[in-house]
Structure 1
Amino acid sequence: MFIFLVISVLLMAACGKKDIKDSVTWPLKDFTATTQDNKPLGLKDLKGKIWISDFMFTSCPDICPPMTSNMTKLQKMVKDEGLKDIEFVSFSVDPTVDTPEVLKRYAAQFGVDFNNWTFLTGYSQDFIEEYGPKNFKTIIKKVSEGNVMHQPYFYLVDRDGNIKKTYKGNEEVPFDEIIGDIKTLQ
């Protein structure tokens, strides 16, 4: 009888738990970077927060401007929904060109709210080409001056620094799904 009671309690507790559909758990390794304000930032600074991340570069001729525009829309939606402690983090995939000043000018063109959105640089090209694939399961490769190959994804990261889900970030962005998944993590 006792075992039946324990199993029943566990099953009822599991029924109330809401999960993110098609979620993953990809733990991120620590990183050290420089923000658009020329300040240091690492994974430890994001612990305890839910964040959305992407990869971009300021001289990108195609997918980065729509991604940044879509991330700006998502940032506004998060604010309009009253969601707290949500950060946005954009890693430059062309860190020698994308200095803090260049990143700040680029972001300002899109009306970025820097209160909870950080653009990162200050690492080597080798670092980002290794860090992205190993941690975010994405492709990053500088193919020529001013041209870096990368994928157009947004990444949802939980409070413990685990990637939970990826979303298309340049077109047909599932904004409502992302907002719902953020709420599930809260």
Structure 2
Amino acid sequence: MMKVRFLVVILVISTLLMAACGKKEIENAVNWPIKNFTATTQENKPFGLKDLKGKIWISNFMFTSCPDVCPPMTSNMVKLQKMVKDEELKNVEFVSFSVDPKVDTPEVLTRYAMQFGVDFKNWNFLTGYSQEFIEEYGPKNFKTIVKKMSEGNVLHQPYFYLVDQDGNIKKTYKGDQEVPFDEIINDIKTLQ
């Protein structure tokens, strides 16, 4: 009887060790928790962290009158959205926070996104909060700079953020140039 118990214990331990060895982790992952937010989408609907619960999401910061990094970031996010669809990855959302919410009304965000061929089925452009809110929310949650400058320009960093199903940022990536698309797709797969 002791031999059987011993063999069962060894079998269970071996199975657990093999399962742990097979579990993939995101390389250089961070674990920054996202605090709740309240926003308005391009469809003028309320939106918050609760709407992303249980979903993987890719996020960025942008504004529609951006003269440099935002257009390529949006184009790259469209390419990433198409790759997610082509790979048949489910439960993946895209979220773009406007860093110029006074200018970027839902209508302005819709026109901007349509220029790039955005599929709104799983992508929300957010506004409806104050400038002060986004300038505080970005640094505290995404470890990024958001600062309105003179002449309508807003300083922000051109990153994409991968957020897990529990609302934790797992990784950041360049979003304007030399975007590591395959790495992002593989990291999404790892989270699934």
TM tier relative to shorter chain: over 0.9
1:120-149 Cα offsets, whole Å, 9 max, x none, are 000000000000000000010001132000
Q: Does 1:90 align with 2:96?
A: yes
One-letter amino acid matched to 2:48: G
Please report how far the alpha carbon of residue 13 of structure 1 lies from its aligned counterpart in structure 2 after TM superposition. Answer: 2.4
Q: Does 1:165 align with 2:176?
A: no
Aligned equivalent of 2:52: 46
One-letter amino acid matched to 2:144: T
Aligned equivalent of 1:144: 150
Q: Does 1:55 align with 2:80?
A: no
1:61-81 Cα offsets, whole Å, 9 max, x none, are 000000000000000010111
TM-score (norm 2): 0.93
Please report how far the alpha carbon of residue 3 of structure 1 lies from its aligned counterpart in structure 2 after TM superposition. Answer: 8.2
Aligned equivalent of 1:102: 108
TM-score (norm 1): 0.96
Provide the C-alpha distance between the structure 2 equivalents of 1:79 and 1:147, rounded to a whole number of angstroms. 33
Match of 1:145, SS?
Answer: helix
Aligned equivalent of 1:179: 185
Residue from 159, 169, 180 that aligns with 1:153:
159
Please report how far the alpha carbon of residue 2 of structure 1 lies from its aligned counterpart in structure 2 after TM superposition. Answer: 9.1
Please report how far the alpha carbon of residue 42 of structure 1 lies from its aligned counterpart in structure 2 after TM superposition. Answer: 0.3
Please report how far the alpha carbon of residue 6 of structure 1 lies from its aligned counterpart in structure 2 after TM superposition. Answer: 6.6
Please report how far the alpha carbon of residue 11 of structure 1 lies from its aligned counterpart in structure 2 after TM superposition. Answer: 2.7
1:91-146 Cα offsets, whole Å, 9 max, x none, are 00000000000000000000000000000000000000000000000010001132
Residue from 135, 138, 153 that aligns with 1:132:
138
One-letter amino acid matched to 2:124: T
Provide the C-alpha distance between the structure 1 equivalents of 2:14 and 2:120, rounded to a whole number of angstroms. 48
Aligned equivalent of 2:119: 113
Provide the C-alpha distance between the structure 2 equivalents of 1:3 and 1:26, rounded to a whole number of angstroms. 37
Provide the C-alpha distance between the structure 1 equivalents of 2:175 and 2:97, rounded to a whole number of angstroms. 14
Provide the C-alpha distance between the structure 2 equivalents of 1:33 and 1:145, rounded to a whole number of angstroms. 25
Provide the C-alpha distance between the structure 1 equivalents of 2:50 and 2:183, rounded to a whole number of angstroms. 27
Match of 1:165, SS?
Answer: strand
Match of 1:163, SS?
Answer: strand
Aligned equivalent of 2:33: 27
Please report how far the alpha carbon of residue 14 of structure 1 lies from its aligned counterpart in structure 2 after TM superposition. Answer: 1.4
Provide the C-alpha distance between the structure 2 equivalents of 1:185 and 1:154, rounded to a whole number of angstroms. 16
Provide the C-alpha distance between the structure 2 equivalents of 1:78 and 1:88, rounded to a whole number of angstroms. 10
What are the ranges of 5 or more consecutive residues in structure 1 without an aligned counterpart?
A: none
One-letter amino acid matched to 1:34: T
One-letter amino acid matched to 1:62: D
Structure 1 or 2, whichever has the larger Rg, is 2
